[in-house]
Amino acid sequence: MTLLSDKEVVTVFERLKKQNPEPVSELDYKNPYTLLVAVVLSAQATDKSVNIATKELFKVASTPKKMVELGEKKLIPYIRSIGLYKNKAHNIIELSKMLLSKFNSKVPSTREELESLPGVGRKTANVVLNVIFDQPTMPVDTHLMRISPKIGLVSGTTPIEIEKNLLERIPKKYLKNAHHWLLLHGRYVCTARNAKCDECVINDLCKHNE
């Protein structure tokens, strides 16, 4: 499959930017810690289902200390509606303990430190680095995996390949918001079933439509 030219890549992001100049995470959070918890919960779950669960949870546990005091057994009822809730509850308590003991209750600002926390993989670390610390990272979720090659932005079959190629191809000035634009595009327009090509602002550039 042919890829978009460098000029076309710029056009894609200019149009996505014009449509949504200041994209934000659709996960609800109160502080860096609650964003971290929300992203851990969002693995294999929708942002909507996570927001419903965390609405009440974050009223009682919005810091590592409060979460550890709540404990795994009392945490589970808040997140039972989310997939893999037992495993996630365990990881959230353990990462909260680690934040208390190793990081003075603060969410760390490096990938290595974030990935040392239980339940935090590369994608979660990238989201936190981007949203909280304004770093130009590329969290690759199912939407980015699916639409990036489809549009013709990059080639690749693994999250790490897609991430690496996107970081190389997307001009620096778009990197801060690029993953938000692509995620939202995949979630609402370029959907897995019945993509809304007639509503798409880049349908004339999309390599899938060639």
Q: Which of 30, 102, 141, 150 is catalytic?
A: 141
CA distances to 139, 144, 186, 197 from 191, rounded to whole Å, are 18, 11, 5, 9
* SS3 sequence of 155-191: CCCCHHHHHHHHHHHCCHHHHHHHHHHHHHHHHHCCC
Which of 111, 119, 92 lies closest to 33 in space, CA to CA? 92
Q: Give catalytic status of residue 18 as yes or no.
A: no
Q: Which of 30, 97, 123, 207 is catalytic?
A: 123
Q: Does 141 qualify as catalytic in the annotation?
A: yes
Q: Any residues with CB less than 8 A from the CB of 62 and at least 6 apart, and which?
A: 30, 31, 33, 34
Which residues are catalytic, by number?
A: 123, 141
